[in-house]
Every structure is written in structure tokens, then in C-alpha cells.
Amino acid sequence: MVWKELLNGLGGLTTREILLDIHGGLAMLSMIFYGGLIATSIYWKKYQTLIDAIKKLWIWQIVVVGALYILGLLMYIPYRAKGGAKSTLVGNETTVWLHKIVFEHKELLALAPLILAIVAYWVVNKIGTDSNQKQLVRRISLFCAVAGLLTLLLVATEAVLVTKVAPVK
């Protein structure tokens, strides 16, 4: 009975709702990758062979964060549409700041994780095995992972703050 109810509920989701869920899922997946990247970048000093894992994780992170950004752009269409979440927020004096300050920042800031992931992969791939640069490469990879994670957390927090008041439908 519960299974039937669940399947009926899932079957009733619109394509947009499914894409929104995937969008949220990708954000969480990228946070797991960031965790892996931070750990591997720290322990790379001790375990030399982690270089291959770091490279692979950065490639996956580019794919995930890239897909996350593109889906975010697509979900921006219903947000900005007439009668959409933006209209709801802008139409009320007490919630206009959520669009003007919070959501605008979220949309703009979201570019940083993608750029940082591309840079980190490139650097690790080009000079990751260079013994003279190893310490610096480790720092670059760690910086890109921590900065990417912090910006993503901020973006996610801002998204929750806004969509709690005006959900994207």
C-alpha cells in the first residue's frame, strides 16, 4: 500500500520537479567529492599514489559541478518567469530582499566552484608528478577544494533560504 502510494507520488512528479531534485542531488554529490578531495589532498603528502585518485576526483567534480551549473541555469527560467518565484518575492516588500540580495548572489557566486575545479584538475594533471612543485600543487588542490566547498555551501544555504519562502515550481 505504502509502496503503491510512493510510486504513484513519484510517477506524478513533473519533469521540472525531477530536474530540481537532480539539481539538489548533484549539489550533495559534489560535497561528497569535495570531502574526498580535501582528504586526499591532505594525505597526498604521506601517500604518493593518491595523485591518481585526486586527478580522477577532480574530473568527476568538473562533470558534477558543470551539470549542476547548467541545471541551475535551466531552473532559473521558471524562477524568472511571470508568476514564478521571483514575482512572488518581488511582489512583497518584506521578501524583496530575498531576490535582490540573496538569490542574485547565489546565482552569481555559483560560477566559482566550476572554474576552481577546472583549474585544480589542470594544475594537478600538469605538475602533480613534479617533485619540486608537489607541496605547492597540494596547496592549490586543497585551496580549490576548500574554496569550492565553502562557496557551494553558501550557494546552497542561500537557495534554501529563498525557496522556503518562494519555491520554484
Partner 1 sequence: MTSKTTPNNKTASNGEYEAAAMMYSASLSLTVFWVLTILKEAFKAINQALNIHKGIGPLLSLFVISMLVLFLAYSPLLGYIKNIKNKSGQVAKAFAFLVVATIVFTLMTAPLFYEPVVDLLK
For 124-141, b/e burial (b = at least 16 CB within 10 A) is beeebeeeeebeebbebb
95 binds partner 1 (CB under 8 A): no
Q: Which of 7, 13, 28, 77 binds partner 1 (CB under 8 A)?
A: 77
**Side-chain-facing half-sphere of 132: CA atoms under 13 Å:** 1
13 binds partner 1 (CB under 8 A): no
115 binds partner 1 (CB under 8 A): yes
45 binds partner 1 (CB under 8 A): no
Residue type (1 letter), 122: W
81 binds partner 1 (CB under 8 A): yes
CA–CA distance, 67 with 100 (Å, rounded to integer): 25
Here the cell at position 13 is 512528479
Residues 122-161 as x/- pattern, contact with partner 1 by CB under 8 A: xx--xx--x--x--xx-xx--x---x---x----------
CB of 136 to partner 1, least distance (A): 6
